[in-house]
């Protein structure tokens, strides 16, 4: 069985370093279809049947930049068998924003907590087990620059891919938002696979301009969804996209408080 694994992460998280570590010299470079964004692929070292696809460095999966759209199209259209999400552990708060979105794509995911050599040197501690419990997926500490942990991450991703074990989204938004998402879900349940429900209900709630590229809705259903969103916006006195963004940041802030122990509180690593 051939396996396709996507590498996803923020710019500068160490994605290229890990890609090189995982693929060695078996790399090919091209462009993503129709755009001049570079696409790198390679075979996993000693695994002819495992393809590693390097997604562009991105901060989020919103529809606003070419890199984000390329990444979304790949995750939703090509459905890789697993995602390796590389997180710069020295910038964990900012990096986890993307992680919360990747976890909604209904694909098996492994988090590589990269740059751990720098974190350890600083005396800070990150509780990888708590992070793993929070995201419902394996978290492996890595130092791609030193060749530490990369193959373990890949092996964990292969195991999940072989099991077809989609990472179940763990994060709940506030009650009002969850009620709206459930009501939107009821409107689209006939058209969307269960593992993609979370992704599409959130994107519809955000009024994502590209969500219509994936399936069409009748004008009746569109109107009902609009009413659900408008009602929630009224209750929370904010626009739906900001509601989701703010609640994600608040969730990550609480997670960090729980999982990251700074030697010198207030100091950042980078």
Rg, Å, the chain Cα set: 19
Instruction: Identify which of residues 116 and 259 has a Cβ nearer to ligand BGO in the complex.
Output: 116
- Measured CA to CA, the distance from residue 143 to residue 87 in angstroms comes to 11
145 counts as binding ligand BGO under rule CB under 6 A? yes
Q: Which of 5, 8, 13, 197 binds ligand BGO (CB under 6 A)?
A: 13
Stretch that binds ligand BGO, among 9-17, 126-134, 211-219, 229-237 (CB under 6 A): 9-17
**152 DSSP 8-state letter:** H
147 counts as binding ligand BGO under rule CB under 6 A? no
Angstrom distances, CA of residue 267 to CA of 91, 124, 259: 12, 10, 16
Stretch that binds ligand BGO, among 111-119, 168-176, 191-199, 247-255 (CB under 6 A): 111-119
Q: Contact 88/13 with Cβ under 8 angstroms?
A: yes
Helix (H) or strand (E) holding 176: helix 175-188
Which residue in 93, 143, 99 sits closest to 117, CA to CA? 143
- Measured CA to CA, the distance from residue 99 to residue 87 in angstroms comes to 8
Which residue in 47, 161, 156, 61 sits closest to 107, CA to CA? 161
11 counts as binding ligand BGO under rule CB under 6 A? yes
114 counts as binding ligand BGO under rule CB under 6 A? yes
Q: Which of 143, 150, 167, 187 binds ligand BGO (CB under 6 A)?
A: 143
If DSSP codes are grouped into helix, strand and coil, which group holds residue 60? Answer: coil
Q: Considering the complex, what minimum distance in angstroms separates the CB of residue 17 from ligand BGO?
A: 3
Stretch that binds ligand BGO, among 8-16, 71-79, 151-159, 242-250 (CB under 6 A): 8-16
Q: Which of 3, 15, 160, 211 binds ligand BGO (CB under 6 A)?
A: 15
- Measured CA to CA, the distance from residue 85 to residue 179 in angstroms comes to 29
144 counts as binding ligand BGO under rule CB under 6 A? yes
Residue number with the smallest Cβ distance to ligand BGO: 14
14 counts as binding ligand BGO under rule CB under 6 A? yes
- Measured CA to CA, the distance from residue 253 to residue 245 in angstroms comes to 12
187 counts as binding ligand BGO under rule CB under 6 A? no
Q: Which residues bind ligand BGO (CB under 6 A)?
A: 9, 11-17, 57, 114-115, 117-118, 143-145
């Amino acid at each position: 069985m051939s396996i396709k694994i996507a590498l996803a992460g923020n710019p500068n998280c160490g994605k290229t370093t890990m890609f090189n570590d995982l693929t060695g010299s078996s790399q090919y470079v091209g462009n993503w279809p129709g755009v001049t964004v570079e696409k790198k692929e390679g075979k996993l070292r000693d695994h002819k049947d495992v393809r590693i696809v390097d997604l562009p460095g991105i901060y989020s999966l919103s529809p606003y930049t070419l890199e984000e759209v390329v990444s979304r199209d790949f995750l939703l259209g090509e459905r890789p068998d697993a995602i390796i999400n590389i997180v710069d552990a020295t910038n964990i708060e900012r990096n986890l924003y993307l992680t919360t979105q990747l976890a909604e794509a209904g694909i098996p995911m492994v988090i590589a907590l990269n740059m751990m050599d720098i974190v350890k040197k600083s005396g800070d501690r990150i509780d990888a087990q708590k992070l793993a419990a929070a995201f419902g997926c394996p978290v492996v500490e890595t130092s791609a620059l030193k060749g530490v942990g990369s193959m373990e991450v890949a092996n964990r991703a292969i195991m999940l891919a072989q099991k077809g074990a989609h990472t179940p989204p763990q994060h709940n938004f506030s009650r009002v938002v969850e009620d709206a998402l459930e009501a939107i879900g009821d409107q689209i349940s006939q058209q969307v696979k269960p593992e993609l429900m979370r992704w599409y209900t959130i994107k519809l709630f955000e009024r994502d301009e590209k969500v219509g590229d994936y399936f069409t809705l009748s004008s009746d259903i569109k109107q009902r969804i609009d009413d659900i969103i408008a009602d929630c916006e009224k209750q929370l006195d904010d626009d739906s996209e900001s509601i989701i963004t703010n609640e994600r940041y608040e969730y990550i802030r609480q997670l960090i408080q729980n999982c990251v122990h700074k030697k010198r509180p207030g100091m950042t690593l980078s």
